[in-house]
Structure 1
């Protein structure tokens, strides 16, 4: 395993924004499971989904892969050996 590198505060700030919007998405998903005809909540879910993808793309562009198993691309050389990984902070 590689030695952990120092990451800037922007790394943590952006990761926190991603975690917050993804929390909203989980809650909206649970609500919509029981209220499938709530058009306003569906619109909110779709807007949050867009925002989540946008934030994740920004994170990966600045700091490297965020999700594994083919959901994120890697730069050259292979980014996955760089730590800390998002789930470690």
Structure 2
């Protein structure tokens, strides 16, 4: 019997703060609760500044509506406060 270890990816919403349309692939600066990262947004249709995205391994994989993003960020904040 082979048992494979499962890993989990934790996706935190990030807000797009700028887009570089001239890059190939298209990239954006994304704010993850104060941490700014450049990510590839080539795969996301009609991504715009202020949109929330889910990023995996440096690539935006989906957009998230603002309400869902803010609710998720609030849950992370509550979890962090409970850990202190």
Q: TM-score, normalized by length of structure 2?
A: 0.31
Higher helix proportion: 1
Q: TM-score, normalized by length of structure 1?
A: 0.30
| Structure with larger Rg | 1
